[in-house]
Structures are given as structure tokens and as C-alpha cells.
Structure 1
Amino acid sequence: MHRTILASLLAAAMLLSGCSRPKDAAVQPASSETGSSQSEPEQEVMNMETTENVIYLAGGCFWGIEQLMQSIPGVIDAQSGYANGSDETDANYPTVCTGKTGFRETVRVEYDPEQVSLDALLLAYFYVIDPTVENRQGNDVGTQYQTGVYYTNDKAKETVERIAEIERSRSRSFKVEIGPLVNFYPAEEYHQDYLEKNPNGYCHIPLAEMKLFSSLRIDPGDYQKPAAEAIRDKLTSEQYRVTQQNGTERPFANEFWDQFEKGIYVDVVTGEPLFSSTDKFESGCGWPAFSKPIEEPAVVELPDDSHGMHRTEVRSRTGDSHLGHVFTGDPESPSGVRYCINSASLRFVPYAKMEAEGYGYLLDLFEE
């Protein structure tokens, strides 16, 4: 009777989830290898073992988050598992899929801070999830798909809370759990590296977004947002009005609208590289116009229904500066896309000064 009930519950859960186990994979029993009860101290110590440079990310089906993290240079290891559940419950796939355990499908990410920052990992995570929904991501519905970021030390806590605050400020609602790791159990072996074993397997994260993070060079951890008072002291009144108060400068009366000198344009608040002169084009709009950013994740696009219009706002990734708007179907743009950006939100770094100012790693943008 017990097995019949368990099978029925599991089948129901799988109908709701695109993240069902492969047909040829057997359900693993609750054992010391696949997730035993957290009441066993020895097992708990093993599964709670951490190093300083580890973060735990719950972002819906763990297959996709694991693959995303593995694609980022500097990530040493990404392991699928179950985190922050009730400590009297076996942490294995059948019981977690009942939705009654509190466990989240979570990926343990260990990284080399000399190669990639925690900021970069967190912002990649937020780029691919929907932070506004609860107990679901994509087609997957259930408490096991609740999003969350779980830290294990004070240094990580500071970074997580700082990034979460930025993300919270640009979300109409924010449902991501932010807190310490309570427990973690590795998932069954057939879940590990699932998308490598099954390249055509289900994933709620688009493949194109996965590829974005496999070759990124701009690390957002190098361009952290200053404190509010420091921003006010750093900017002119016009820069502050535009970047911090969502202002718009006058067309044809701003610094860069008709400039085409060789170089890059960086966030005036943080210095993060945003656009290149190679993608700047002549536009009749009266503001600087670019066909694309240097790297797509460096800017964040948000719906903007202000002033009785339906537009897409563009903000900087780490500084959360208001930059302008992006439009499609532009006949003047070589790509049909126009990033219409306020000069006051940008600082121009000439090609000849890029090396001296720490942007030498982007000089190859200008190689033919």
C-alpha cells in the first residue's frame, strides 16, 4: 500500500513538472548514497561540508542551473541536490517531489575567486530566473522549484544581500528566498551532469542564455555599486537626475549624441563597460545610439509603462543606473535594434586610454 501511494504521488508531481526523471533511470532508494535522513549526524556533516568559496542556488529544475554554472569559466564544480528541507524527511527525488518536505532543488557551486566573482555568479543566476514567482520556474510547479540563494559564511552573506537588494529594487515583486544554508543533500547520480548526458533533455533556461555566460570577459564584481552618498558626491546634478531618478536629457544637446571616436562607453556610476564605438551608429533620435551592448548581460531590460507609453527601459547591471530605452525595428540600426542611451549615464574611455584605465582586456573589440 505504501509503495502504491508513493508512486501515485510521484506520478502526479511529474505531470506538473518538465523536470521529470529520465525513463531509463530507476528511482533511487533512500540510502547513505542518495540522501538519507538528516537525523544521521555523520551524513549531515558530509553533506554540509563547505569551503569559503561556495554558494547554493535554487532556480527551478536543478538540471538547468547546474549546466549554467558549469558553463561559466572559474566554476570548479556544480552539484545538484536538495537544500533547506525538514530534517526529519529523507532527501531523495520521490519524497522531494511530493512537495511536502520543504526541500528546494538546489545546486552547490564551488568557484575560484581568482577567475570569477560571486557577484558574477549571482547576476548570472538572476539573469535566467524569474524572481517574481513563487514555487515555480518555467513549466515546473511545486515547492521544490522555489527559488533561493543560500550562503554559508558572513562574506558571502554580504555579497548575496547586496546583489539581492539591487535585484529587489528592479522587480515588481521579489519572491527569491535569501538566507543561510540549513542543510544540503546531493541528488541521485542520474541527476548529476544531466544535460551533458542528455543534450536534448528538458531545460527551462533557453540554450541561448546558457551560451551567453560561457565566454564573458566583463566580471561585474570588478565594478560594484558605491554607497548612495558616494554616488551623490560623485555625479553632477544632471548625471544624478538621469541615472538615479530615471531622468531624460535633451536630445541633440548632450555630450555623446554625435561623437564617434574610437573607444568604449562605461557606466558613469560604476565604470562597468557597457557599449563600444564599434556598435555606435548615426541616428536621428538626438541621443547616443548603439546596435548592441558589448556583452548582453551587462544591461538589464525592464518594462516601462510611464508617461502613457509602452517601452523597454535599459539599466546597468551592477550600478542599476537608468541608461535609456531600447527599441526594435529601427531602420537606421544595422541590427534593427536601437539602444537609445542618455549621455549623462555614460563615461567615454578613448581607445588610447583603455589600457591605462584597466580596460585593456577589451582592446580586441577593435580588431578587424
Structure 2
Amino acid sequence: MRNILILLGIVLGIAVFATKSGFFNKQKVATKEKENETIMDSRNVKEVYFAGGCFWGTEHFFQQVRGVVGTEVGYANGNKQNPTYEEVVSHTTGFAETVKVKYDPEQVDLKLLIDLYFKTIDPTSLNKQGNDRGDQYRTGIYSTDKATEAVIKAEVEKLAKNYDKPVVVETIPLKNFYRAEDYHQDYLDKNPGGYCHIEPGLFEMARNANPLPKKSETKYQKQDKKVLKEKLTPEQYKVTQENATEMPFKNEYWDETREGIYVDITTGEPLFISTDKFESGCGWPSFSKPITKKLIDEKLDRSVGMTRVEVRSKTGDAHLGHVFNDGPADKGGLRYCINSASLKFIPKAEMEKKGYGEYISLLDKK
């Protein structure tokens, strides 16, 4: 069933690209190239690999969880190098569709990730999840170190007591993992409403499963409109609070090329970094992605006779701009077209002094 959907999706994708429409419906949240979105040093990030049937839904599910800082779909524990999707579905290579999950153990516990994973699968079903059949859809949690393996085995044994049938989830070390083709990455992010074996309500559950501690919710706060009217310029207020659009090529940051960070003008919360900024020719600041999609909302916008995807800051609920699928392919194919009036630019030299020092590593790693 999914093979047919993939072919239809590719054909439709080519057609849309050929028309250069630039518009597509997107689900909010989820992430592209999240390994570049984390602000933490790599030594604080751990990896675990989840095989849970079709990897499109499993990846999207884990992208919702606070503390997950990177995901990548691929093929794990097979018997050849660099398999293609066609080889995997031929049942001759032994690979399982798997999601590489990078997480910050200081923000989310591995035990919680395993518990959430169990909610997305039937752990007693062998080589079958949802409408998908075949050994590539088997379930498993694969580890890369002994400590992680021990936690996985203990948690699966504990959860297995809740089932009458034997649990067939593999709990073995990772032998190999190969990144899947680009069109599989962030599939549900790029194809809202696409095929998924996971019940949609579980995505919302994942978003709420690991809330921020109360003490962490005070740094950036939504401002009252009366306060904003006094604080912002008339144009900044109209753009952020009334969904206006500033003039192209006549705004503050469309041609800004310095290194630094772009924050929400209403709250000061970091949203974009200069290394994700590119010249698109549209006359507004253009970014290939936000620092993390957990800080923005993306909503369908049918105003002014067009169908677009609006981008808003999650904390400040400020209108930022729109996102289109005509960005550079080598940067993920997206173009976040953002109003300068919604942003405040902090040059790299001032980031430490103004409280954004922890984000400097994002600039240094590019």
C-alpha cells in the first residue's frame, strides 16, 4: 500500500515543482535536519534507534517530544552496504525501517521515549504494523552502548508484562544504519496528510508528554498588546499583531549578511541564525529553517486569495511571515520568508553580552 502512495507522492511532487507554485500545506511542528537545531554541545546528546513500522510516522512522532534534538530515517541491521529503498522492500537485505533519535538526557529520559514508542506500535505483531507487511516493518530498539542496551532491555521486559501475547520487539545492539533517500526524510512534514500508521491523536500526546519545568517558562513571555503598542514601531505592531507585510527590499534585514542571531521582536526568543539565511531574491529575509521548529507554529493561511502556510512565533504568537517549498534543495528545499519587522538581529559579537551566548556554538559548527 505505501509503495503506491510513494509513487503517487513523487509524481504529484514533480508536478507541483514544475508549476513553481511555491505553496503547500504543512503540519505544524516537526523538523528538518535537526542535528543542526540543537544548541547543546554534542557530548550532551545521546542516540537510540527505533524501528516501529513505517518510519515516516515514527520520525514525526518523536519530533514532537521535547528533548529530542535530531531525527533521521534510515535502514538498520541489514546485510549489505548503502541499501536503496527498492532493495529494502525486496526482503533480501534484512534491513528494518528505523529512526535515529538524538536526545538530550538532561531534558528527556530514555525510559519515557521507550514508553512513548510502545504507544505507537503493536509490540506483539511480527513484521506488521498498520497496513504495512514485511520484515522491513519489524519492531526494534537498537542501542550503540551497553548502558543504553541495559535500559532498553529492562524497560521492554517491564512493559511486556502488560501484554498477554509475547512481545516481539528486538532489543539488540545496532549493527549498521544507512540514511534513507532524501524524500523519506521529514516525510510527513513535507506531505501533511500523507500515509501514516500512527493514530493522529498520538502526535498531540507526544507534544505534551514532556512539558517544560515551571521554572523554565519565565525567560520569554508573551507580551500584552497594550505593552507591545508602546514598545514597537507602528510597522512592527502591524506586522506582528495584525498580520501585515512590510515592503520588499525596503526593510531592515533583507540584505543583512553579518553573523548573528535573529530573535522575536516581541519576546526576545531566538528564532533563526545567520548561517541558515540565504539570498532568495524576494526582498525579505529568507531562512532555510528556524533554530528549532518547537519555537514556531505553522498555520494554513487562505487570506488575500492565496493558499499559503503562515509562520508565527509559538511563545509570542507574533506573525513572522510564510514558508514556501521553493528554497535551495541542498538546504532542505524550504524558504522561510520572514518580515524584518518581526525580528531583532543580534550580531555575533554582542550575543554573549545580550544573553545569547549559548547559541554561539550554532554559528561555529556551520
- The TM-score, its normalising length taken from structure 1, stands at 0.47
CA radius of gyration, larger in: 1
- The TM-score, its normalising length taken from structure 2, stands at 0.47
